[in-house]
Each structure stands twice: as C-alpha cells, then as structure tokens.
Amino acid sequence: MTVKDHDKLYIGGQWVPSTGSGTIDVINASTEEVMGRIPDGTPDDVDRAVAAAREAFETWQQTEPAERAKYLQALAEGLGARNEEIAEIITGEVGMPIFLSKMIQAGLPAAVAGSYVGLVDEVVWEEQIGNSLVVREPVGVVGAITPWNYPLHQIVAKVAPALAAGCTVVLKPSEVAPLNAFVLAEILDGIGLPAGVFNLVTGVGPVVGEAIAVHPDVDMVSFTGSTRAGKRVSELAAQTVKRVALELGGKSANVLLDDLDGDELVKAAKAAVGSCYLNSGQTCTAFTRLLVPRDKQGEVVDVIREEVESAWTIGDPAVGAGRLGPLISDVQRQRVRDYIRAGIDEGATLVTGGPDQPDELPTGYYVKPTVFADVEPSMKIAQEEIFGPVLSILPYDDEDDALRIANDSIYGLSGGVWGADVERAKRVARRIRTGQVEVNGGSFNPLAPFGGYKQSGNGRELGKYGLEEFLTVKSLQL
C-alpha cells in the first residue's frame, strides 16, 4: 500500500490546513512501516470546527427528518461503493484479516448508516400530554471521540444518529487508525452535506480530545475508549455540565452451564474461542472469561487447545493468510505480553500460546493466541481488560457461583450464556449485570441497544436507542 498523506482537516465544508505544523505517522500493524500521515491538530482547530458546527446547527436542526434521512441514504451508498478501499485501509491500520474487514470494518458502517434512514420515522417528534406539547429536539453540537479497534464503525455509530437527530458534529478519530475517517469526510463532502454539519479534526486525545470535551459550545460528548480516558472526558465535560455518553471497557464472562454435554459442550467451547479472539481480541465485548463447571474444565480445555492450535492461525491480514492478524501497535503488543507473563506468574495454567513473538512472523505486532486454565477470579488476567487474544478459563461450582464470578467485575458491557435448556439459559442471562448478553451464540444485532453497566459506561448506541441519545425534550405549556 502506498503512503497516504493527509495534510488538511475538514472544517466548515472545506479542506483547510491545521493551525499547527505537526504531523502524526500512521503505522501499518503488519509491516511496522508508515502507511500515512495526518495533521496533529490543535485547540485552535477545535475552536474553528466548533464554531462551524454551531453556525450550521441553526439551519440543520430545522431541516425535516426525511431530508436528513436522504443524506444518510447517500452516506450508506457511498460507504458501500468504497467497501474494498475502506477494508484495505483498516486492515493496514488495525490488522484485521481482509475478508473480515470487508464484512465488519467496512460493511457494518454502511449498514448502520442505512438503518437510520427508516428509524427517523419511528421517533415521536411531538406528543400531546394534557395541556403540554412535548417536542423532541436535537441536543446541539456533538463532539465525537472514537477508538481504533473498529474505527469507522464507531465513528458511524455516533455520526449517523447525531445527523439523523438534527445535531452537528465535530469528530476526533483515533490518531492510531484515522485514515478511514478521511474517506468518510470525502463521502459526506461529495454528497453535498451542508457546510459545518460534519467537521473532522485529527490529533491526540490530551490535546484535541480534551479541547472538545471542555469546549463551552459543545453540547454533548460521545466517547468510546478506555475507562480511564472516559473518566477524564467526564471530568472535563462536567465543567460545562454537558451531556456525556460513554462506551468504555469490558471484561465479559461467557458461562457454559452444567447441562451441556457431548456435542453441545464441544460446540459451545469452540464458539467461545471465536467470541474471545475476533479482531485479535481487540474488541470491547470480547468474551475473555470462560466460566465452566469445575468437573468439566478438563474436557473443555482439551477441546479449546485443539481448536486454537489447529484453527486459529496467525498470518498477514492483507492477503487473508490467517484468522488472526497483528495487534494495533508495539505498545499494545507489549501490554498484552505483560498480561500473559502476569498470568503465568500468578499460577494460572498456560494451555497454549505464550508471550513470545511467533517465530514465523518476526515483523508485525503479532501475539500468539493464548489460553489459560485454572484461573482464579482474583487474578489480574481475570479482572483487567487485556485487549488481546488471551482467553481465561475459570472453573465454578454451581449456578450461583458462576453468577457471582460473572458479576465480579468493575465492567458490565457484554457476556454470554450457553445451556441445553434455553429457558434456564435466559434466566441466567437476566441475572448477569451487563448491557448485552448472548444466549447460545445469538448473533450481533446492529438495531439493538449497545452499551454498558457499571464502569463500562452509560448511554446506548445503535438503533432507535442510539438516535434518542442525541435528542432532548421540551414542553410547550398550552
């Protein structure tokens, strides 16, 4: 892939230079080489973008929802037309195998954008309550701060509903995986979205992100990232009492109930690997804790060892050489390796994998798919978000013990339950304190609310719930 340099920001419907002179290198996760450069934005750039968004809001909020939906339809079509280009960019930035990037990293944003075309018609924009007319209005100027693991999906999951609601947006994408955001800006510019409705400012979190969060003319911040960074965003946003929506970390538990046997147990165990390893484990909802009946741990471990060592190959994601690509950066690779070493030091049983660089892949931020057994709930690898291909198997004694372990976390983003008795599995799922729970491998639904309990955040994304995040209500007393 040729190096793609972007030397301008998108502000007020124009491509303009940053007020600063710095640039940020974007590194290919597989080759460790520079694949692009972006402007290292400044607080002054944020000021310009917010001013443009504030001016545009006065008109954009008054457009009919159906008119806004037309732009979202054009956005969805534009994303679809550039699917392969987007997939190739994100495969380079993030390291997801190309065949998965086409479906997930490029395909999902187009589907999410298109979903809001119809959802604007489901909003009750006005309703009469007694002598009051209650109206729903856009919250205002939205600052969107997004992560690197599913970069364009997380952007579109904020930008599309915000635009549908009548808000204007200032976006700061992750500086680690930002090139896809320029494609989005090019599409929005090409479909004639009014100037200032969408603005793109690249840069680092402590500079551009914090300038957005603290800005008095930003009415809402929607942030996806680490819990640590989310706390900082909340602190800064509190200074102007703006609305904050947070989608943060996770340490999701996947519970295999004791009524699973034979083929059902094997199926659940194999599925557990995929639920942990998607995107090389760089998924906030990854099921990184597998809870199994104590007397079946040995059987499950045998199945998973065979599954990982035979099926979860590592390779160059650009040519689809494996099911696992590299991690995003050297920093992340070192962080995951440190967690693997911690698991060994704490006395967990290393089933497969380990902290060493794969011999056959000396270049690239690769980590061996790793599995631990005999993990205790108090261990570091059972409590902290690793964000890599590391699966921890925790044995439990009975159903109540499983639920105690599953809920023993500061996080509450997602989870899973597998059981032969579906009704029992659903009862257990209701007792898990998380925003989503998969039952017997239920598939991801982009129209269902997505978000967390506890320190996994607040607010919801996707579907009608994601649209409602960007609306506020007013009562007209008649």
In tens, the pLDDT along 51-108 reads: 999 999 999 999 999 999 999 999 999 999 999 999 999 999 999 999 999 999 999 9
pLDDT single digits (tens) 422-448: 999 999 999 999 999 999 999 999 999
Residue 38 pLDDT:
98
- 253-445 CATH fold: Aldehyde Dehydrogenase; Chain A, domain 2 (3.40.309)
For the chain, what are the domain ranges? 4-248+456-477, 253-445
According to the model, what pLDDT value does residue 474 have?
98
Query: Within 13 Å and on the Cβ side, how many CA atoms surround 375?
Result: 28
Spatial CB neighbours of 471, under 8 Å, sequence gap ≥ 6: 123, 136, 137, 138, 139, 165
Query: CA of 173: how far to CAs of 41, 141, 308, in Å?
Result: 11, 17, 33
| pLDDT of 50 above 80 | yes
- Does the pLDDT value for residue 399 go beyond 60? yes
- Tell me the pLDDT of the chain averaged across its residues: 97
Q: Is 281 left (phi over 0), alpha (psi -120 to 50) or beta?
A: left
Confidence of residue 362 (pLDDT cuts 50, 70, 90): very high
Does the pLDDT at position 320 exceed 90?
Answer: no
**pLDDT at residue 1 in the model:** 55
Active-site residue among 175, 284, 385, 468?
284
Q: Are 333 and 367 in contact (CB under 8 A)?
A: yes
Nearest to 283, CA basis, from 351, 206, 355, 224: 224
- Report the alpha-carbon distance of residue 210 to residue 159 in Å, rounded: 19
Which residue of the set 175, 210, 247, 461 is catalytic? 247
247 is catalytic: yes
- For residue 210, indicate whether it is catalytic: no
Answer with the residue of higher pLDDT: 383 or 321: 383
Which residue carries 């979903």 as its tokens?
A: 115
For residues 161 and 181, what is the distance between their CA atoms, to the nearest angstrom? 17
Identify the residue whose tokens are 């996080």.
411
pLDDT of residue 353: 98
Q: Is the pLDDT of residue 321 over 90?
A: no
* CB-CB neighbours of 237 under 10 Å: 22
CATH number of 4-248+456-477: 3.40.605.10
| Mean pLDDT of the 406-426 span | 98
